[in-house]
Structure 1
Amino acid sequence: MVDTPLRLSAEEMRRLGYRAVDEVVEHLATLRERPVGSPPVRERIEGLLDVGLPDGPSDPIEVLAEAVGRVREFIVHTDHPRFLAYIPGPSTYVGAVADFIASGLNVFAGQWLVGSGPAIMERIVIDWLRTLCGLPDTGGGLFVSGGTMANLVAVHAARSESADDGGLIYVTSQTHSSIRKGLRFLGFGPDQLRVVGTDESHRMDLVSLKEQIACDRRGGYQPLCVVATAGTTNTGAVDPLDELADLCADHGLWLHVDGAYGAAAVLSDRGGDLLKGLGRADSIALDPHKWWYQPYEVGCVLVRDETTLIDAFSMNAEYLRETRHGSGPLNYYDLGPQLTRGFRALKLWMSLKTFGLDEFRKAVERGMALAEHAQDLLLKGDRWEVVTPAQLAILTFRPRVPDARPEAVDSVTRRIAAGTLEDGFALVLTTEIDERPVLRLCITHPETTVGDIEETIALLERLADEAVATQGLR
């Protein structure tokens, strides 16, 4: 090491960097051959990792080797082609390199004076996403950590546009929990949340919404915002966006669309049909680290009129005076809650430039096609009940157990999910539909194959047989 605090020599930096690249490439090249994950045992993990704070230096290559080994051992690989449990999916190697570059150059992407190039690059990528989603030229947005923060920023912008801090927010039982969390964070009380009904497809029901709005207005309350979902976490359902846009326009309400994963399907013709009306929203949340294959964290909030973000978040401070000078300063601290923020836009910019939009489109369409293939396999025999059909690459189902009570079927369903984690070949977990557990396939990995799906369903059938036998149901 050089005789400077916290600095390696140029040769040591190269050696460490080359080794890090080799480790990542090895991880990606051999990922399919390894288990998706295993059940975590906290005591074992703490025993291996909690060894005290070091006072002196260590060889950086040895530290890297220990870090990679321990991290890889104690994670479930959400970037595995047979990780089918949740929507967050794989990243691209290009995106990972972009993250390294952004960190290595230590880019500050919060204000114009020290990050004008990154600011313009972020604006360009935001414009790409705005155009894809159908928002007008007046629109804008910014990158945030993920869908939770994107939803929070959007709802705060909606409230800032209203003269009434006591406005009501309308959701359904299928709305993502991040909305409720964000509302609490923003100071909305439980009495400001209205949960409206859903139709048989688990979409927001327009009649229920209209009745609730009318009832609230008769009671002297002020409706503020309707939160629609483009691709629910449970079933992939898309609320009727076009009709909701009409209703919100008629009633002067803000329409926010949580499209954290589902908005990515605008790239597909079939997805575009499902998402008709997306471009009429006042705000949209989407997560490129889900179905657009970027490393965590990169969420995005888009708005129909960028001035709504400025009105909600713009700040003036004496130490920021010079950041407002120059030619067309673009300060992202005026558009969101963060002043210090990393350069999240670079990974999506590099990935889109490297692969092109058509490759992303093929990958999204592949996920939807594989979900439909899985549905066909499940419907071929009498072993499975498809609870919600394949939509936006999500499918839910449960085992059929003749003459068994619903509680027994529910127990078998949960046992199957637990068994996949213990087995390690693929990971399939549960969610709940109508207060009963169902297995859910989320097929968003671009490297998942037909063979992966067929072998995973074969695994589920074996685990179902074992669970049924263990419970004495046959």
Structure 2
Amino acid sequence: MTKPPLTLTPDEMRRAGYAVIDRIVDHVATLKDQSPWGAGEIPAPNPFDAPPPQKGVAFDEVMARLDRDFFPHNLRVDHPLFYGFIPSPSNFIGVLADALASGFNIFGGTWIGGSASAEMERAAFNWVREAFGFPGAAFGLFTSGGSAANVIALAVARHAKLTGDMATARLYASSETHSSLERGARILGFKPEQYRKIAVDDDLKVDLAALKSAIEEDRRNGLQPIAIIANAGTTNTGAVDPLNEIAALCEREAIWMHVDGAYGAGAAFSARGRRALAGIERADSVSFDAHKWLFQPFEIGGVIVRDGKTLHEAFNVSASYLRDTKTLGRGVNFGEHGIQLTRSARALKFWMTFQIFGAEEIARAIETGFEMAEAAEAAVRKLPHWRVISPASMGILAFRAAPEGWSDEAADRLNAAIAARSRAEGRDMVVTTELKGRVALRICPINPRLSKSDIEGTIGRLDEAAQAAMSQLNADQPG
């Protein structure tokens, strides 16, 4: 009998599935032996640039192509020595949960589509609500990531606070705020001049005096301040804006307070993180990325809103073909609370990770990130020619080679050369940034599989790269 299209036998499915699991386990088990940079960029010509085959290719042959052309040419963002940008130190239970959610093809947009999925997501957000100190009326949902979560939060802020012409609205964020907020404002129709970037202080936190001055100026000009975006761990330095002071300002001025916690808010699942984020409980909305400091595989972010009804009001629309989703069942339709109607069961990996490992182990994993950044700072401070630009904060450290007698410009070239040498060696994934107008190195050592000896090894190799680069660039040194 002819098989239906796109069908495998149970034996074929098992064989393919076991091969995939074996491949993933081999990758995870040997991760420390690999370079966090992978094998570099994929070589030209593009091996995937071909018409689709008219007849199917054997699974083993496809896997062999992936082993050759696909898997090697991607960064290992879950490698312990991947310090660049924001790592994603995944966990294997989350990987399996993703496979289960995809295998059962669960629809997470409506109650009748997945009542168990909806109730699991609600339960997971009770954990989030408690971690952030939000009231019982709060409501949230999982998203593809912080970018989508921030768009949702700004849309709710606009719905709740805008009373006149949208052209008069103003949003405020520090110059260190993540670019996704500016992009999100643009997506929502705000013009560039409506998104005001406020200067930061010496600690790279928003300058409160400058923020208050900007709000006063805009009110005098007949404009309407509707939202302040506060940072719970900036990408550059892990800076946490003064959340309690911003909350007081927002309460006084009737302005929405959104906390961009895409990087740092997940730390609230640990005691140390909650202390660092004091005041987050006063926000109107918070975004977070579980695929960062909550150790999930891509993609899973989230947003929670203090007044859940406002979130629903901002996104709920009606359509005749969705009539039954509103009249059948007793639960919530998550598709009425955000951008996506069709959405996966992202809560499953979050829930399963907490079930298997427990909240205590997750908190311990989070606190390792604080400790590793502090260990890196201590190692840097022991070395000549180096200085800390931004002390360890929320698991991030920024530092710079600055030999005595070298000009700032020469030191900029030196730090770029150090990063290039480190990249060529391939042991550590360290990138540069620009802070206070100067080139610096920046690391984010939040992988819970890191050790203090790993950190000290990385700093030692960077110092070796600095010594070699200093010799090469010595002509730039005055005198």
TM normalised by structure 2 equals 0.96
The amino acid across from 2:407 in the alignment is: R
Which SS does the other structure have where 2:142 is aligned?
strand
Q: Is the 8 A contact 2:31 2:79 kept in 1?
A: yes
Question: How big is each residue's C-alpha offset from its partner over 1:142-193, in whole Å with a ceiling of 9 and x where there is no partner?
Answer: 1111111111000000001122323110011101000111111110011211
Which SS does the other structure have where 1:438 is aligned?
strand
The amino acid across from 1:24 in the alignment is: I
Distance 2:362 2:296 in 1: 11
Match of 1:20 in 2: 20
- Runs of 4+ in structure 1 displaced over 4 angstroms? none
| Equivalent residue runs for 1:156-175 within 5 Å | 156-161=155-160, 162-164=162-164, 165=166, 166-175=168-177
* 1:120 partnered with 2:122: no
Q: Is the 8 A contact 1:39 1:422 kept in 2?
A: no
Q: Is the 8 A contact 2:139 2:307 kept in 1?
A: yes
Cα gap change, 1:117 to 1:219, in 2 (>3 Å): same
Q: Is the 8 A contact 1:45 1:74 kept in 2?
A: no
For structure 2, the residue ranges without an aligned partner over 5 or more in a row are: none
Cα distance, 1:257 vs structure 2: 0.1
| Equivalent residue runs for 1:90-169 within 5 Å | 90-161=89-160, 162-164=162-164, 165=166, 166-169=168-171
Distance 1:437 1:349 in 2: 41
Question: Which one of 287, 308, 311 corresponds to residue 309 of structure 1?
Answer: 311
Match of 1:260 in 2: 262
Match of 1:207 in 2: 209
Deviates more, 1:90-99 or 1:57-66: 57-66
Q: Is the 8 A contact 1:369 1:393 kept in 2?
A: yes
Distance 2:68 2:94 in 1: 22
Cα gap change, 1:46 to 1:359, in 2 (>3 Å): farther
Cα gap change, 1:2 to 1:409, in 2 (>3 Å): farther
Cα distance, 1:431 vs structure 2: 1.2
The amino acid across from 2:463 in the alignment is: E
Match of 1:386 in 2: 388
Cα gap change, 1:268 to 1:112, in 2 (>3 Å): closer
* 1:222 partnered with 2:224: yes
Distance 1:223 1:326 in 2: 41
Which SS does the other structure have where 2:47 is aligned?
helix
| Equivalent residue runs for 1:289-308 within 5 Å | 289-308=291-310
Question: How big is each residue's C-alpha offset from its partner over 1:263-291, in whole Å with a ceiling of 9 and x where there is no partner?
Answer: 12213333222211101100000000000
The amino acid across from 1:82 in the alignment is: L
Cα gap change, 1:384 to 1:158, in 2 (>3 Å): same
Question: Which one of 172, 176, 179 corresponds to residue 177 of structure 1?
Answer: 179
Which SS does the other structure have where 1:291 is aligned?
coil
Distance 1:10 1:39 in 2: 35
Distance 1:458 1:92 in 2: 28
The amino acid across from 1:180 in the alignment is: E
The amino acid across from 1:19 in the alignment is: A
Question: How big is each residue's C-alpha offset from its partner over 1:205-258, in whole Å with a ceiling of 9 and x where there is no partner?
Answer: 221111111111111111100000000000000000011111100000000000
| Equivalent residue runs for 1:208-287 within 5 Å | 208-287=210-289
Cα gap change, 1:2 to 1:12, in 2 (>3 Å): farther
Q: Is the 8 A contact 2:145 2:289 kept in 1?
A: yes
Cα distance, 1:419 vs structure 2: 2.1
Distance 1:397 1:95 in 2: 33
Distance 1:47 1:375 in 2: 42
Distance 1:240 1:378 in 2: 27
Cα distance, 1:38 vs structure 2: 5.0
* 1:72 partnered with 2:74: no
| Equivalent residue runs for 1:304-383 within 5 Å | 304-383=306-385
Cα gap change, 1:126 to 1:2, in 2 (>3 Å): farther
Match of 1:191 in 2: 193
Cα gap change, 1:171 to 1:29, in 2 (>3 Å): same
Cα distance, 1:421 vs structure 2: 2.0
Distance 2:38 2:12 in 1: 35
The amino acid across from 1:248 in the alignment is: C
Match of 1:50 in 2: 49
Which SS does the other structure have where 2:74 is aligned?
coil
Which SS does the other structure have where 1:289 is aligned?
coil
The amino acid across from 1:17 in the alignment is: G
Match of 1:6 in 2: 6
Distance 2:27 2:129 in 1: 34
For structure 1, the residue ranges without an aligned partner over 5 or more in a row are: none
Question: How big is each residue's C-alpha offset from its partner over 1:112-133, in whole Å with a ceiling of 9 and x where there is no partner?
Answer: 1111110111111111111111
Provide the aligned length of Structure 1 versus Structure 2. 473
Cα distance, 1:6 vs structure 2: 0.7
Question: How big is each residue's C-alpha offset from its partner over 1:356-413, in whole Å with a ceiling of 9 and x where there is no partner?
Answer: 1110111111111111111111111323110000011100001122322111110111
Question: How big is each residue's C-alpha offset from its partner over 1:36-68, in whole Å with a ceiling of 9 and x where there is no partner?
Answer: 1157445x1544333432111111122123224
The amino acid across from 1:256 in the alignment is: H
Q: Is the 8 A contact 1:140 1:306 kept in 2?
A: yes
Match of 1:35 in 2: 35
Distance 1:264 1:142 in 2: 15
Cα distance, 1:418 vs structure 2: 2.1
Q: Is the 8 A contact 1:146 1:297 kept in 2?
A: yes
What RMSD over aligned residues (CA atoms) do the two structures have, in Å? 1.5
Distance 2:182 2:446 in 1: 26
Cα gap change, 1:53 to 1:310, in 2 (>3 Å): same
Instruction: Quote the sequence identity (%).
Output: 42
Distance 1:70 1:184 in 2: 37
Cα gap change, 1:49 to 1:422, in 2 (>3 Å): farther
The amino acid across from 2:194 in the alignment is: Q
Distance 1:341 1:41 in 2: 32
Distance 1:264 1:115 in 2: 26
The amino acid across from 2:359 in the alignment is: L
Cα gap change, 1:7 to 1:39, in 2 (>3 Å): closer
TM normalised by structure 1 equals 0.97
Cα distance, 1:415 vs structure 2: 1.5
Distance 1:121 1:295 in 2: 18
